[in-house]
Amino acid sequence: MKIFIDIGHPAHVHYFKNFIKIMKSKGHQIMLTSREKECTLELLDSYNINYNSRGTGKNSILGKILYLAQANWFIYKLARKFKPEIFLSMASPYAAQVSWLLGRPHITFDDTEHAVFARKFYKFFSDVIFTPFCFNKDLGPKQIRFKSYMELFYLHPKYFVPSKNIFSILNIDSQKQYVVLRFISWNASHDIGQHGLDLEMKRNLVKKLQKKHKVFISSEGQMPDDLEKYRINIPVNKIHHVLAFASLFIGESATMAQECAMLGTPAIYVSSINCGTLHELEKNDLLFGFRSSKGLLKKIDKLIDQKNLKEEFKNRNKQMLNSLIDPTEMLVDYFQKHNSI
């Protein structure tokens, strides 16, 4: 089988990397295109995954629409030569529209309820839309819910084992407690009109946390010098090892907060954006969500003073994993059945 995959975000590399490895081992051919967003290409290189770059994309609404035509043409030319039997993506309008033009099925995933703008450009052109079981929108007859989370595509214990070598990479003692802060750029189409932590609160967090913890900051954009000095400097494919051993995570990134829940690390998510996955994890006390900074500092004080906090979250994590499937295995099985039709 020939499979065409489009990648638009670093997280998408993680979603499909194990699927790619397994399918290649079974003799299937894969062509991949990718947007140059943050560390996406660096991640693909680190996993030895071949790709074709479709450029950096645009941030404005008009720019995104113009880029749609540009990316579609780029993917169309590659696909005409490759002749894929099926397309796969994470809510990619480019893969969806080109698959439709070529008369090939498009299998996609979506876990972002508020990404209404992007959904308008891929839903009609797609054949199957996989969503986590807790996705709180009905997308119609194309939707298939699966009993798992997107983050388990790569953080399921079958594929990921945290390594304590990360402490030497971070240049800290293995007994040293540390906290990870994550700030995002708010440039995605689904981020328009949304907000998270303001600069004053970011500084307050560092001031409070550094009294007892080493502080590492992961940020999509540049920060003031007083915060920039805390920026984490590690190979891009090591961030999940960092999250696995962290005492606490606080950030604006839903993906990283959810990753921490998959790893048994206490996480606080601060953003006006909410979704079904976050709500489900909050409901089961696997992370804490704040729609604004109100009450945030008090919650942090309570958590860092709590004894055996990490152990408690590890136990909650084990209970959760026992109730979920391996989504990579599900996707491989789906494609194998498609290949036999």
CA distance 182 to 197: 10
Report helix angle 327-340 to 10-25, nearest 10.
50
∠ CA(187), CA(192), CA(194), 5° rounding?
A: 105
The per-residue pLDDT for 274 is 78
Convert the pLDDT of each residue in 164-202 to its tens digit.
999 999 999 999 999 999 998 745 544 444 456 999 999
Structural domains of the chain in order of their starting residue, each with its CATH number: 2-148+325-340 (3.40.50.2000), 166-321 (3.40.50.2000)
The least confident of 37-41, 163-167, 211-215 is 37-41
Q: Output the average pLDDT for the chain.
A: 93
Q: Per DSSP, which regions of 100-173 are E strands?
A: 106-109, 128-132, 143-146
Segment 64-74 shows an average pLDDT of 93
Is 340's pLDDT higher than 80?
Answer: no
Q: Identify which has the larger pLDDT, 277 or 114.
A: 277
Q: pLDDT, tens digit, for every residue of 233-266? A: 999 999 999 999 999 999 998 899 999 999 999 9
Is-above-0.75 flag for pTM?
A: yes
Q: Tell me how far apart the terminal alpha carbons of the chain are, to the nearest angstrom.
A: 12
**Residue tagged 């003799």 (tokens):** 27
